[in-house]
Amino acid sequence: MGACAHPPRAAYAGGVVALRESPVDAPDAHELLGEYFASREIGFAHQNVVYTTRFPDPALFEPPVGVFVIVDDDDGAPVGCGGIRLIPDGPRGRRYEVKHLYLRPGTRGRGWGRLLLEDLQRRAIDFGASELVLDTHHSLEAAGALYARSGFVEIPAYNDSRYANHWFEKPIPAEPVRMGT
């Protein structure tokens, strides 16, 4: 497979952002993931569930088994992240899982989450994916709405995550998706 042809910067509702690959253990990725995990700890504490933070194994997010992407705002500051990783094949074939989709609270509502999700889908296509899957929790209402608007449909559990109570899939089209659709 050839190199990904991804636009380095994209004009989108709420500004201009750059999407860039990053090692999942790079300092800015680690900082964003730390914020994400802290927000989950708070959310689960309200439900009397102890959330255990586990930073991801960097090898799972290196092409072609995965990729981790940082969202930089128009000032070049990292404001979000997300990744995909290869998991065992599903009913449609090669399956990638969306993980750790996060935007800093002040940047939400600008469409950048959808932009990031579309970018991850394009990268999954480049890796030969037949479908994307993800798990989430009902308390992440905005995330669940984003996934539904992006064509994900709820499916039975494909993993045993104790932090998830909703599982989604999206068949991957043979042709790439266009940015900002």
Cβ atoms of 71 and 118 within 8 Å: the answer is: no
- Percent over 90 (pLDDT), the chain: 61
**Reported pTM:** 0.84
User: 39 in a domain, yes or no?
Assistant: yes
In a domain, 176, yes or no: no
The answer to whether position 13 is within a domain reads yes
The range of the structural domain enclosing residue 96 comes to: 9-171
Tell me: the pLDDT tens digits for 100-157? 999 999 998 899 999 999 999 999 999 999 999 999 888 788 888 999 999 999 999 9
Whether 181 is covered by a domain: the verdict is no
| CATH number where 125 lies | 3.40.630.30
DSSP state of 67: E
Residue 45 above 50 pLDDT?
no
Does some domain include residue 118?
A: yes
Residue partners of 127: CB distance under 8 A and separation at least 6 = 1, 63, 64, 67, 84, 86, 94, 96
**What confidence category does residue 3 fall into, taking pLDDT thresholds of 50, 70 and 90?**
very low
Question: Which pLDDT score, from 0 to 100, does residue 65 have?
Answer: 96
More confident residue, 47 or 162: 162
Return all residues near 65 (Cβ < 8 A) that are at least 6 apart: 59, 85, 86
Per-residue pLDDT, 1: 40
> For residue 176, which of 133, 128, 144, 114 has the smallest C-alpha distance?
128
| Number of domains making up the chain | 1
Q: Is residue 115 part of a domain?
A: yes
2 inside domain: no
How far are the Cα atoms of 2, 41, 152 from residue 50, in angstroms, in the given order? Answer: 43, 7, 28
Query: Is 94 within a domain?
Result: yes
pLDDT surpasses 80 at 178: no
